[in-house]
Amino acid sequence: MKLNENLEKHLPFYLTQDAKNHLKKCIKDFNDDNIENKDYYLNTSNENILQGDAIDGFDVVNIPTMEKREILGLVLSNTCDISPSNKRKVPIHITFSPILKLSQYTSVLKNGGISSQACGDMISSIKRQEISNIIYLPYSNQLEDELIILLDNVHSISMKHFYAKKPTRRRFSLSQFGFYMLSFKLSIHFCRLHERTERI
């Protein structure tokens, strides 16, 4: 992920200068070999649900089988949109993507007949955040496993159902750096303006 020298103008305006400097350093250092050392997660949690929170207990339905199950999911909805203080005339939904262990995804690749070399290359690309539809989350004090978020597997449920169900717990919240990486990946995956398609 290449970043130009105009990074400053793209940083959130509401951050203090110290926070901007820290975020800028994290982003510029993003492609080094110490990805596990980046500040991906918050040490404390906000009272409200934030975009980029990992929540246990999201309901998903497998359409072919209509099987319903609970999963760990990452909130993709904007924080302001899903805030309880944001009163809506029309009920809103919360959008999320499943979170998987990287080891599970590796097994899927191997079971699909992909060679060990190709599998290793794919995992390395995932860890460098080079795969547009996958977000990589490294080990930390909060996480026992390396995780990935699948941006091509998106679900929504009503906020009413979400709060009535009282999901199990928040597993973690993304830090400013983690949130900025999420924003980049969402933009690249869903809003690729340079798609090289002439819409005439």
> What pLDDT, on the 0 to 100 scale, is given for residue 157?
92
What is the secondary structure of 125-175 as a DSSP string?
HHHTT-STTEEEE---SS-SS-EEEETTS-EEEEHHHHHHH--SEEEE-B-
Domains plus CATH for the chain? 22-190 (2.30.30.110)
Which residue has tokens 């005339």? 89
Is the pLDDT reported for residue 199 higher than 60?
A: yes
* pTM (global) more than 0.85: no
> What pLDDT, on the 0 to 100 scale, is given for residue 90?
85
**What is the mean predicted confidence (pLDDT) over 76-105?**
90
pLDDT digits (tens, 9 = 90+) for 29-72: 555 455 555 678 886 666 788 999 999 989 998 888 999 999 99
> What pLDDT, on the 0 to 100 scale, is given for residue 1?
42
